[in-house]
Amino acid sequence: MFKRLLGLSLLFGMAATAPPALAASCGDREVMTQKLESGYSERLTAGGLQKSRPEATVIEVWSSDETGTFTVLVTHANGISCVVATGSSFFHIAEKAPDLGTPS
């Protein structure tokens, strides 16, 4: 009896703590982007449309040259954005100029 009760309490305890962690990383896009701009000096540096989900989402990369931080957001059609990655030491890769061959 004790083992069943302990097992059930652990199961429900873990299930009860999971949603708040997920909910904390999502919010209104405008509020989240204002926080990235004012709190982390980040700006939108890249983005694209992701169609692999049932509804299309926008992937956004926000980064700061000042602080070196970056944030990856997934924005849904309803205006909710979720943070899927954050980090530091962000860098840009410069495009190489195309090889024009040997001048004549």
Question: How many independent structural domains does the chain possess?
Answer: 1
pTM of the predicted model over 0.75: no
Domain presence at residue 55: yes
Domain membership of residue 100 (yes or no) is no
Q: In tens digits, what is the pLDDT along the chain, a chain of 104 residues?
A: 545 544 545 445 544 444 444 445 999 999 999 999 999 999 999 999 998 767 889 999 999 999 999 999 999 999 999 999 999 999 888 888 777 777 76
How many helices (H) and strands (E) are present in the chain, helices listed first?
A: 2, 5
Domain hosting 33: range is: 26-87
71 token code pair: 């944030």
| Residue 42 domain-assigned (yes or no) | yes
Q: Which two structure tokens, joined as six digits, stand for 91?
A: 């860098």
The number of residues making up the chain comes to: 104
3-state secondary structure of 54: coil
Residue 77, in any domain of the structure: yes
The reported pLDDT for the residue numbered 9 is 54
